[in-house]
Amino acid sequence: MKLERRAFVVALAGQALFRGTRADDRAALLAAAWERGGVYSREVAERLPADRWGFRPVPEVRSFHEQVVHLATATLGFADLILGAAPAPRLPSAPTVDEALALLSMASTRGLAAMRALPVRGDQRVPWSRRLWTGETVSLWSVAETMRDHATHHRAQMVLYLRLQGIVPPAYVD
């Protein structure tokens, strides 16, 4: 209960950060937070020795390696949607640890480009929404916020995997 209350307060604080903020300031804040998160994701991924990337807490969940690859590929998909880019090329079916780290760095960079490309009031550089393959239209801001939430979720799982392996994660600087 105490943990749930703390998580709720943190979520409210995060929303309060953007309330009343101009869209261009909001975009800059979101891009800065994304950049810090990308650096931290790479630090977390590099903390686990390569020979332990196959670790999974229980059989039903992704391995650490799969978490890194999923985080990166999903980020590329979200970023490409925001940027209006063609989908990223398909990956090898089982990328090596070095390939997964390179992919994570590439995803972080493309995610940052997407955050910086978000439209602000009066901005005509990019459309404010895009049509999905499902036919549904989504706001680019909604996609960006979902991309950040998704990255945070999987990065947090990676931190937990480190702890379960007896490894202290890098310090998080907000």
Domains delineated in the chain? 23-164 (1.20.120.450)
DSSP string computed for 124-160: -SS-SEEE-TTS-EEEHHHHHHHHHHHHHHHHHHHHH
What is the value of pTM for the model shown?
0.82
pLDDT digits (tens, 9 = 90+) for 5-33: 444 333 434 444 444 555 568 888 999 99
Where residue 165 falls among pLDDT bands split at 50, 70, 90? very high
Q: What are the tens digits of pLDDT across the range 81-104?
A: 999 887 777 776 779 999 999 999
**CA pair distance 90, 69, nearest whole angstrom:** 12
* Distance between CA atoms of residues 6 and 1, nearest Å: 9
pLDDT band at 127 (very low <50, low <70, confident <90, very high): confident
